[in-house]
Amino acid sequence: MTTLRLGTRGSELAVTQSSHIADRLRAETGVEVELVTISTLGDRSSAPLTTFGGQGVFVAAVREALAAGEVDLAVHSLKDLPTAPDPRLALAAIPVREDPRDALVARDGLTLGELPSGARIGTGSPRRVSQLNALGLGVETVPLRGNVDTRLGKVTSGELDAVVLARAGLSRLGRVDVVTEAIDPIQMLPAPGQGALACECRVDDDATIRLLAVLDDPATRAAVTAERSLLATLEAGCSAPVGALAEIVNDGEELWLRAVVGEISGAPSIRLSASGSPDEAMAIGERLAAEMLAEGADELVHASTTAR
């Protein structure tokens, strides 16, 4: 087979993630892989994500290049991928997930509970803002964009007391040593799909679909399917204050899904859970979302959207 062209964003984290997938494909299939970097709207703009397009801003250009045949496969952070399927593309593999938790990086090695009242915490995520405010710690959240080093630099320079990032990204970059606390999901549920990667190819490219299949992890796929099904049923994008985490428990026999829909101020919020067979992952997400909608989740999502 000729060399596979792998489309990726050009950020350090995206290239690192894509390189990991390329290395695995080389090792497990013997095929050669070439990385092709593609600029996306999310990379080119420094504006808050909630103001210029929301879900898909980090993946749209890469997916268009894939659909046009400019690359043969693409690797995304799954949490950036819209929940609506693209009929041109196949989600051919979801590899084993990294730790999905959010991570605090704070001055002086502090944890969330040790930060003083009034401490400034940087994050660009309404989901994180909502859950931080709900904890009632008296901290101030500060809007934040930029790559990992830019965000960490705000702490080392003293401009911020802490930042919240996905632990998975720090781990993939070999920077997990800077984490001062991996935040318990009881305090902060991650974004649906956080910590997982998505490997896409064209729906009619049977050869690449077969190659990517060796990377797929059924347990991870079931978990993120439940999370993304919930997000889709809530009709909430990646910038909405929605957190969800599914786990496979009881020796793989049960899927347990927890979710929260919040409001930027931190109150009120709706937090519910559901469980069932991993084979019913999509239905579990839909069922839990329906329960949350019955509790008024749509009003919270709408309020947070119109407040920006």
Q: Tell me which amino acid residue 40 is.
A: T
293 alpha carbon, distance to own chain's centre: 22
Residue 154 has pLDDT above 50, yes or no: yes
Region at 226 (left for phi over 0; alpha for psi -120 to 50; beta for the rest)? alpha
Instruction: Tell me the pLDDT band of 125, cut-offs 50, 70 and 90.
Output: very high
CA angle, 189 as apex, 17 and 114 as ends, to 5°?
Answer: 100
Residue 13 has pLDDT above 80, yes or no: yes
Nearest to 281 by CA among 259, 257, 251, 258: 257
Q: What average pLDDT does range 217-221 have in this prediction? A: 98
Q: In the numeric block, which tokens belong to residue 32?
A: 């050669």
Q: Which pLDDT score is estimated for 45?
A: 46
Residue 306 has pLDDT above 70, yes or no: no
Using DSSP's 3-state secondary structure scheme, residue 120 falls into strand
Q: What is the mean pLDDT of the chain?
A: 92
Q: In the numeric block, which tokens belong to residue 10?
A: 């050009």
Q: Which pLDDT score is estimated for 268?
A: 81
pLDDT digits (tens, 9 = 90+) for 280-298: 999 999 999 999 999 999 8
Question: Regarding beta strands 162-166 and 120-122, do their DSSP bridges make them parallel or antiparallel, or are they unpaired?
Answer: parallel
Instruction: Tell me the pLDDT band of 300, cut-offs 50, 70 and 90.
Output: confident
Q: Which pLDDT score is estimated for 305?
A: 65
Query: Locate tokens 């984290």: which residue?
Result: 13
Up-side HSE of residue 108: CA atoms within 13 Å toward CB?
9
Q: What is the pTM of this model?
A: 0.91
Looking at the chain, the whole-number percentage of residues with pLDDT higher than 90 is 84
pLDDT digits (tens, 9 = 90+) for 164-206: 999 999 999 999 999 999 999 999 999 999 999 999 999 999 9
Domains of the chain, start order: 4-95+196-216 (3.40.190.10), 102-182 (3.40.190.10), 224-307 (3.30.160.40)
Q: Which pLDDT score is estimated for 211?
A: 96
Query: Can you say whether the dihedral through the CA atoms of 225, 230, 235, 238 is positive or negative?
Result: negative
Q: Which pLDDT score is estimated for 55?
A: 53
CB 191 within 8 A of CB 129: no
Q: Which residues are catalytic?
A: 80
Residue 247 has pLDDT above 90, yes or no: yes
Contacts of 196 (CB under 8 A, 6+ apart): 77, 78, 79, 94, 95, 97, 98, 100, 220, 224
Residue 48 has pLDDT above 80, yes or no: no
